[in-house]
Amino acid sequence: MKVLQINSVCGVGSTGRIVWQIHEALKDAGHESYLAYGREKSPNCTDAVRIGNKLDVYYHVFLTRFFDLHGFGSKNATRKFIKWFEHTNPDIVHLHNIHGYYINIEVLSSFLKDFHKPIVWTLHDCWPITGHCAYFTFAQCEKWKTGCYRCPEKRRYPKSILLDNSAYNYKKKKELFTGLRNLTIVTPSKWLAEIVKQSSLSEYPIRVIHNGIDTDVFKPTFGEFRKKYGLNGKFIILGVANKWEERKGLQYFLELSDYLNNDEVIVLVGLSERQIRKLPKNIIGIKRTNNAKELAEIYTAADVFVNPTLEDNYPTVNLEAQACGTFVVAFDSGGTRETIINPETGMCLRVKNIESLMKAIRLVRGTMTLYKTTGLSDEEIKKISKESAIAKYMSLYHVILHGSR
């Protein structure tokens, strides 16, 4: 079996780690595996093929920022990549994020419609079904169901500071992404699967494969975090994000800081230098870390993990916290509920405000012996592991190529 994966990044970020894990598993099983990416890559991705170069990315960003034409740049880079694609001739093409300033969706779609082999497309967000945005729940917008226009998310990723081309983008995406033969869509959450069923992509079969985590790393891991930051005896409220922005709920932590007692502190991981400089004294800001073991130590040191995300697909940070033995309090947004393993390891709050958060945190602190777990059962760990997710992708490849076993 020969598989080609295409994603915006390789080995970094959540989607980059997923494609790399699948790549390694394929090779370990004796299959041929190829990776193509657009921008960032980790040192491990030495055999991955880059689509285009920095200049292509910059021009694509220009088209996006001023003309709201995300996905319509990088024509020459994509044509060059297609020649390599044809030469490689994979048995299965596995698409991931095809947004990210690196590939032209018209050129790619035209080729794929003449490509007579199976295609798997994992949707990591909602971008393929909208005229602009990657998520629309924060804006409470449902235009994606019938046709986008006057996009309320124009200034969010992929940001446009001038034109609103959402009506054109919506029509073009619908035209380009429908009518693909042998396409199977995968979503990491049941929530997104239900969204896709209501969208322009409803013609395709949909499989739900939850993202997994590295359970060899994310487990109760005791280190020197409390000592390093002078937090012995403190009740630690932890938040972790790849990028802290409004939809991730940063403002709730800032509000929460006004309600804390003297022996309570907030720790936020993933902040920029600028954000750290603006924090109140009872919030400790830490920049993004790619050191998974260090992150596991921080999860373990915390007393409660709080995730006030306002829109999300399947936030694996919740899984990581629970795997490290720390109770999760999260807003019930997108596929978040699906990441709560059981009532003893986490809870979802339907009411999204500071009062509900504070009430939940006080409940956790008042019953620490109940909520501070020592980890998950072997069965639960296996269920959320990256190996479980990868095995499901391998099974899907097999079924697509050879039929049911």
Per-residue pLDDT, 369: 59
Residue whose pair of structure tokens reads 């990256």 in the numeric block: 386
Per-residue pLDDT, 374: 54
Verify that 257 and 160 share a domain, yes or no: no
114 is a domain residue: yes
110 is a domain residue: yes
Closest CA to 318 of 342, 282, 352, 354: 342
Per-residue pLDDT, 372: 61
Work out the average pLDDT over 265-283.
96
* b/e 15-49 (16+ beta carbons within 10 angstroms → b): bbbbbbbbbebbeeeebebbbbbbbebbeebeebb
User: How much of the chain, in percent, has pLDDT values that exceed 90?
Assistant: 90
Per-residue pLDDT, 201: 98
Verify that 396 and 369 share a domain, yes or no: no
Per-residue pLDDT, 373: 55
- Over the stretch 372-394, which tens digit does the pLDDT of each residue have? 655 689 999 999 999 999 999 99
Q: Are strands 32-37 and 2-7 parallel, antiparallel or unpaired?
A: parallel
Verify that 302 and 192 share a domain, yes or no: no
Query: Structure pTM?
Result: 0.94
371 is a domain residue: yes
Verify that 261 and 134 share a domain, yes or no: no
Q: What is the mean pLDDT of the chain?
A: 95
The number of domains in the chain is 2
Distance CA 237, CA 256 (A): 10
219 is a domain residue: no
Verify that 189 and 238 share a domain, yes or no: no
Per-residue pLDDT, 358: 96
pLDDT at 170 > cutoff 70:
yes
Verify that 312 and 276 share a domain, yes or no: yes
> Among 209-218, 251-260, 365-374, whose mean pLDDT is lowest?
365-374
Closest CA to 367 of 317, 299, 308, 303: 303
pLDDT at 334 > cutoff 70:
yes
Verify that 366 and 397 share a domain, yes or no: no
The residue count for the chain: 405
- Distance between alpha carbon 213 and the CA centroid of its chain, in Å? 12
Per-residue pLDDT, 194: 98
CATH code, domain with 379: 3.40.50.2000
Verify that 327 and 207 share a domain, yes or no: no
Angle at Cα 401 formed by Cα 400 and Cα 405, nearest 5°?
A: 75
Local confidence band at 246 (pLDDT 50, 70, 90 cut-offs): confident
Verify that 204 and 250 share a domain, yes or no: no
318 is a domain residue: yes
Residues of the domain holding 51? 2-212+386-402
Verify that 364 and 390 share a domain, yes or no: no
Verify that 197 and 257 share a domain, yes or no: no
Verify that 392 and 378 share a domain, yes or no: no
Work out the average pLDDT over 34-52.
92
Per-residue pLDDT, 370: 57
66 is a domain residue: yes
Distance CA 145, CA 165 (A): 17
- Over the stretch 186-202, which tens digit does the pLDDT of each residue have? 999 999 999 999 999 99
Local confidence band at 371 (pLDDT 50, 70, 90 cut-offs): low
- Over the stretch 110-155, which tens digit does the pLDDT of each residue have? 999 999 899 999 999 999 999 999 999 989 999 999 999 999 999 9
Tally the C-alpha atoms within 13 A of residue 400's C-alpha that lie toward its C-beta.
28
